[in-house]
Amino acid sequence: MEPLLRVEGLSKRFPQVVANDDLSLDVRRGEIHCLLGENGAGKTTLAECLYGFFKPDAGRIFFRGQPVRLSSPSDAIALGIGMVHQHFVLVPPLTVVENVVAGTPSAGVLLDLAGAKRDLETLCRKYGVDLDLEARVWQLSVGKQQWVEILKALYVGSELLILDEPTAVLTPQETDRFFATLRQMTREGLSILLITHKLNEVMQVSDRVTVLRKGRLVATVQTAEVTPADLARMMVGREVVFRIEREAIHRGEAVLEVEGLRALDDKGQPALRGVSFNLHRREILGVAGIAGNGQKELFEVLAGIRRAGQGQVRLQGASILNRSPGEIMARGVGHIPEDRIHEGLIPDFSVAENLVLGQQRSPLYRRGPFLDPERIAKFARTCVSSFDIATPTVRHPARFLSGGNLQKVILAREFGQCPQCLLANQPTRGLDVGVIEYVHRRLLEKRAEGVGILLASEDLEEILSLSDRVAVLFKGQIMGIFESSQASLEEIGLLMAGVRGETA
């Protein structure tokens, strides 16, 4: 039978890279087809080509056996190709029905909301989607908002649904339910192209998987016929060590004491509602939680970037609450911010200038009132070699570096400035497997040196394998703190969703 979608020899080049190089694959009717690869492997670029967002430089696309040319997403939608991006496009004050109907081509001048609601109810029943159609979008969890996006795609009659990293916003339990619903959708005849870099998801849900590496297609295989280790090797190009060797060390005294911390988010809503914990020397304290439950605000308050309304933060017994970022930094607290490009670096500055960011007034890099370019360059060269940063010279602008190398620049800078404690918010997000291994190793080294590390990550397995203790954050409150050796994934998953179990 002719597959629903067939791609032949698709290539897409960008100025610096060939994002897709001669890719050929097909998606059959009623299958879940995973697109697996590291960041920068070209998964999203391929998806955007199929959705008409990018024009491929070469190659042919067939849909239902017909050659098609997609000049814009509206072409794709007209054909029956829908896509849900990582960032949602929803209107928070409107209801689910209103969000779905607004922007559909058939909407016309007067909206038939009642009719639309009937159609949506039918869709939800058919695919087993559990969603309150009259709820306003801002009232919904991020996971539910994703369903609104999916309903939008289904409502306009998509036969092929492209989902870009849909589980990033879900708890483990939500992910299970999400996958079950996807299964039912494929039984009803839909086809799904699922973009992911998580091996366990591929194994759990897909019929077939296509692995991309550096823009090239490695192979398309039946999921049942491969192991996760096979896929990892295909994805990275070499054997990958999954287990992190974390030697047991006795943790030291508390270095950072946090008590009853309250703070607002950017919209003025309470983001931290009484957070208390102690961070000890020689330990990694993991902060588990779904994105948007106060992690960003917690790290920013501790680093002095955001003002706390109430509470107390003590570093080695001395209060650092609401001190300036510069002062907290000077007392030996390093900070790896969540958004490395916008918060951690100045992309237009050279690698060397970025490595001394925050230290520009230090006598270490000055001669009299002037900056000493030679001392800065010397320090930068030391960092480049000890952190294995791939850059032609230290004078090269940072914006030309890959995400992994940018993160190494931040690590090199912060590691030199954090004798007391290190605040690491999402230090491995979006990095390749090889660099992630490297970051893990360096964090554990830092822990062994006696530094207390606060670590937040969206990857629960990363937290459990790196941390000595895990704190679960939900809606600005700590639901519990566990020794990671005694915590179970299920228990933490429930707490992440705000469910306090009887066993806890």
Give the binding site for another protein (CB under 8 A). Answer: 15-16, 55-60, 63, 66-71, 75, 78-79, 303, 305, 324-327, 329-330, 335, 337, 342-349, 353, 357-358, 360-361, 366, 369-371, 373, 397, 400
Closer Cβ to another protein, 126 or 361, answer by number:
361
CA angle 91, 264, 307 (to 5 degrees): 140
Rounded (10°) CA dihedral 43, 45, 46, 51: 120
CA distance 406 to 389: 8
Closer Cβ to another protein, 70 or 195, answer by number:
70
Tell me how far CA of residue 62 lies from CA of 68, 123, 212, in angstroms: 6, 27, 20
Closer Cβ to another protein, 221 or 371, answer by number:
371
SS3 of 11, please?
Answer: strand
CA angle 281, 385, 343 (to 5 degrees): 60
DSSP per residue over 31-52, as a string? -EEEEE--TTSSHHHHHHHHTT
Closer Cβ to another protein, 71 or 503, answer by number:
71
Q: Burial, 227: exposed, middle or buried (Cβ in 10 Å; 0-12, 13-18, 19+)?
A: exposed
Amino acid at 85: H
CB 134 within 8 A of CB 95: yes
**Can you list the alpha helix ranges (DSSP code H) found in 356-483?**
373-386, 403-415, 433-448, 460-466
Closer Cβ to another protein, 389 or 406, answer by number:
406
Closer Cβ to another protein, 26 or 119, answer by number:
26
Q: Give the largest CA-CA distance in the chain.
A: 77
Smallest separation (angstroms) from another protein to the CB of 333: 11
CB count in 10 Å sphere of residue 430: 15
Pair of tokens at residue 424: 């690491």
Smallest separation (angstroms) from another protein to the CB of 284: 22
Smallest separation (angstroms) from another protein to the CB of 352: 11
Closer Cβ to another protein, 70 or 100, answer by number:
70
Amino acid at 221: V
Tell me how far CA of residue 201 lies from CA of 33, 209, 216, 468, in angstroms: 11, 11, 22, 26
Smallest separation (angstroms) from another protein to the CB of 454: 16
Q: How many residues does the chain have?
A: 504
Task: Compute the radius of gyration of the chain from its Cα atoms.
Answer: 24
Smallest separation (angstroms) from another protein to the CB of 460: 27
- Measured N-to-C along each axis, helices 172-187 and 489-496 cross at an angle, to the nearest 10 degrees, of 90
SS3 of 297, please?
Answer: helix
Closer Cβ to another protein, 134 or 327, answer by number:
327
Smallest separation (angstroms) from another protein to the CB of 362: 9
Closer Cβ to another protein, 167 or 407, answer by number:
407
Smallest separation (angstroms) from another protein to the CB of 253: 27
Smallest separation (angstroms) from another protein to the CB of 305: 6
Closer Cβ to another protein, 59 or 419, answer by number:
59
Smallest separation (angstroms) from another protein to the CB of 70: 7
Closer Cβ to another protein, 78 or 90, answer by number:
78
Smallest separation (angstroms) from another protein to the CB of 62: 9
Smallest separation (angstroms) from another protein to the CB of 339: 9
Residue 475: partners with Cβ closer than 8 Å, 6 or more residues away: 273, 293, 294, 498
